[in-house]
Amino acid sequence: MAGPQPKFSNDPGSTSHPSSGPPPKQFLSLDGVPILIHSLRAFASVQRVTAIYVAVRKTEMERVQAQVAEYGFSGRVHVVEGGDTRQESVLHALNAVPAIPDDVVLVHDAVRPLIDAATIDRTIDAVVEHGAAIVGLPAIDTIKQVERTAHGAIITSTIPREFIVQAQTPQGFRFELLQKAMTDAMAEGFLGTDEASVIERAGVRVAVVHGSQVNLKITQPGDLELAEFYLHQRGR
């Protein structure tokens, strides 16, 4: 196709966990299929996504490679060793991607399995236009800024909801822009909460693509059941 060729980096989030503890959430089953596989299927369904890189801890690489083969992604999905933080994992994946400056790179949380192809396409379009874009959900609740004290939180101001979005993924960027910003951040000891925060630190404006409550991140008890509900609703 003409124009940038999007790549997809699937960041599993925090990969550190005790060997005796529960498995990482991306390996939990959602409607009989690992959560990670649902995420891979979403991006593999988008024709403009030409390659997918999954960054995981070294001890999980064999398991992920086996799942990639089992579900028919061999050749299109590349498994790379992640780091101790999300930021390190994304940088490792970037360093494994062929360096084409104008390529579009999307970073997605593996535990957001219900991302849809239309949102992925809109994110790619926004990156092509603006250079950087994230999926975000407008705030519904009233947002309060607080000061933490020894006796609890004290409200200092109310932030108008029209100025707030809740960041989701994918987050997309021009390859050269993201790699430089991430490399500089690591060298200077800056640890961002997401890729957009690293890009913002570099002085780059980031566009927002409208997200959805369905694109939830499975992190808390009950999230898996809610994801299954949304998945079954989608299948009707």
Structural domains of the chain ordered from first start: 7-137+165-235 (3.90.550.10)
Name the least confident of 91-100, 132-141, 177-186: 91-100
**Mutual angle of helices 35-44 and 117-130, in 10-degree steps:** 60
What DSSP line would sit under 183-199, residue for residue?
A: HHHHHTT---SSHHHHH
What DSSP line would sit under 18-50, residue for residue?
A: -TTSPPPGGGSEETTEEHHHHHHHHHHT-TT--
Burial of 32 (0-12, 13-18, 19+ CB in 10 A): exposed
Give residue 136's pLDDT. 97
Asked if 134 and 206 count as a contact pair (C-beta separation under 8 A), the reply is yes
* CA of residue 44 relative to chain centroid, distance: 15
pTM comes to 0.87
Q: pLDDT band for 14, please (50, 70, 90 cuts).
A: very low
Name the least confident of 20-29, 95-104, 137-146: 20-29
Residue-wise pLDDT tens digits, 107-155? 999 999 999 999 999 999 999 999 999 999 999 999 999 999 999 999 9
Asked if 169 and 115 count as a contact pair (C-beta separation under 8 A), the reply is yes
Average pLDDT, the chain: 89
Give residue 96's pLDDT. 94
Q: Where are the beta strands (DSSP E) in the chain?
A: 7-11, 29-30, 33-34, 51-56, 77-81, 104-109, 132-138, 143-149, 152-159, 165-174, 207-210
Which residues, 6+ apart, have CB-to-CB distance to 111 below 8 Å? 12, 13, 25, 26, 35, 39, 217, 218, 219
User: Which amino acid is residue 28, in one-letter code?
Assistant: L
